[in-house]
Amino acid sequence: MFEGLDLNQVYSLIASYLMSLAFILFVLYLIFRFKLDLLFLKNLSRFFDRHRIAIRHSLIIVLIMSIVGFGIINYMNYELDQSTRVRVPEKLVIIEIDDYWNIRDTEPYYGDYGYTMENYYDVSNILDKYGYVATLGVAPYIFVDSIRKNFDLDEDGRMVNYLIELESKGYELAMHGYNHCLNPNYCPRYEEVYFNVNQGKEELEEIFGINFFTYLPPGNKWTTEQYNNVKSVDFKFIANTHVPIAYFDEDIIITPKGYDPVYHYDWHRKDFRHTSYEEWVSAYEKTEFFVLQLHCNTFDSQEKLDDLDMFLAYLYEDGAKVVTYKGAYELIFEEKKGVLKSLKRNFGL
């Protein structure tokens, strides 16, 4: 019954069952209490009349037990939430930039949608201006719908060298799916198959000679199967998932979707409209763990690049700590270790 559910989901399911039971019992109690003599309830009413006191007491007891049980389950759910919630040692900012793949061979298909090296450089040059780094979502292949074909990242030397250059500056390279294929007709369940997750990670690590630490789902779409497969191939940070806030899953950190300033967005659509610089600032100020999710191809005007520049200038003036997902992981776990050491010292453990 609870197969495939985590503990939080099990608690929530039990709580909903208990609440439903309490409601049903309450309705039955009202029927019994006020003798609602509906035709189809006459026999039930006669039974109630014969066992009035016993039934009344039983219903009240079961109702109270259901309500108490509902409260206990919700308290346990709250405790679980508190014990697994990620708390950052200080205000952190992560800049995530998605969709790095083979540009050379796909330019005839995706060039008009902003997938050009010039746009990638335009964005990274602004980050470099402030000495900031970002986590980059990299896919070992890119699937072109119009011709139903994969193109290998390793065959685009310019993109590979560009990513190597950024990684040497402190940028993090993260896996952004196997081939960013979201078409259910051509690639059903493609991104969630264990072989593709594992094979894609191995191929990226072979291309760049580094260990890939973070996984970013293509299209921000998740299934339980995909999540379990991503965990099983040893990713430690899984971002842009279905959770409402950042959580620990044992030694893995999972986070919700970041703030994406593109409000009319589809990765293969030409019409990219950004929210204003002021809205970026407002989103940043609302949280202690801010993730700005960008796509270089959407910066197709100088105005948008200027907004990015102004926002990064604001972060710089505010003294924001800008880190990668991997950098955030290290800071968060260092803080967690410090808390455990303090507890052991205080209690003589």
* pLDDT for position 92: 95
Residues 6+ apart with CB under 8 A from 333: 251
Higher pLDDT, 336 or 120: 120
Average pLDDT in the chain: 83
Q: What is the mean pLDDT of residues 88-110?
A: 94
Name the residue among 243, 268, 247, 272 with its Cα closest to residue 257.
243
Q: How confident is the model at residue 1 (pLDDT cuts 50, 70, 90)?
A: very low
Burial class of residue 285 in the structure, from the number of CB atoms within 10 Å of its CB (0-12 exposed, 13-18 middle, 19+ buried):
exposed
Euclidean distance between CA atoms 258 and 235, whole angstroms: 19
For residues 54-80, average pLDDT: 68
Instruction: Report the distance separating Cα 154 and Cα 205, nearest Å.
Output: 11
Q: Using pLDDT thresholds of 50, 70 and 90, give the confidence band for residue 163.
A: very high
How many Å apart are CA 183 and CA 190, to the nearest integer? Answer: 9
The torsion region of residue 320 among left (phi > 0), alpha (psi -120 to 50) and beta comes to beta
Q: How far apart are CA 102 and CA 155, in angstroms?
A: 7
Mean pLDDT of 267-275: 80
* Closest listed residue to residue 101, CA positions, set 213, 200, 249, 223: 200
Q: What is the pLDDT of residue 106?
A: 95
**Quick check: 11 pLDDT over 70?**
no
Between strands 237-241 and 149-152, the pairing is unpaired
pLDDT digits (tens, 9 = 90+) for 178-191: 998 877 777 767 67
Output the pTM of the full model. Answer: 0.76
In this predicted structure, what is the pLDDT of residue 31? 61
| Residue 204 scores a pLDDT above 50 | yes
Q: 78 or 312, which is more confident?
A: 312
Collapsed DSSP state (helix, strand, coil) of residue 247 = strand
Stretch 23-32: mean pLDDT, rounded?
68
Is the pLDDT reported for residue 14 higher than 70? no
pLDDT on residue 346: 47
pLDDT digits 0-9 by tens, 224-235: 888 889 999 999
Choice between 65 and 337, residue whose per-residue pLDDT is larger: 65
Residue 127 has pLDDT above 90, yes or no: yes
Query: Is-contact 331 88, C-beta < 8 A?
Result: yes
Q: State percent of the chain over pLDDT 70.
A: 74
Is 16's pLDDT higher than 90? no
Structure confidence at residue 255 as a pLDDT band (50, 70, 90): very high
Confidence class for position 315, pLDDT limits 50, 70, 90: very high
